[in-house]
Amino acid sequence: METRADFSKTSQQLRTKNTTRIICPNCGNDSDFFEVADGVILTTRYIQNSDGSFVQDGDESQILGEMRLFCAECNEDLTGHHQRFVEMLF
């Protein structure tokens, strides 16, 4: 049986874990986001097959402008949290 102290400790651990989550202050979304890059150069390499079709051989992107983060639910600009977002990409 869980004691009051155990419950308090569990609640505190959950709050501590949740403080690292990005939460949209406008709508409360904490799961769906999108990133926008300004000034992007995308280079895609192709190889042409003997039948005239092409297959992608690789791609490279170069971001020349700002990177921004948005809430995917309400489109709120969350760019202030972008560094945290980048740190948590795995």
Q: In 19-80, where does DSSP find H-type helix? A: none
Distance CA 78, CA 50 (A): 48
Distance CA 50, CA 30 (A): 49
Question: DSSP 3-state assignment of 73?
Answer: coil
Distance CA 66, CA 40 (A): 10
Which pLDDT tens digit goes with each residue over 5-38?
544 444 344 444 556 899 999 999 999 999 999 9
* Extents of the domains making up the chain: 4-87
Prediction pTM value: 0.65
Distance CA 65, CA 36 (A): 10
> pLDDT value at position 19?
62
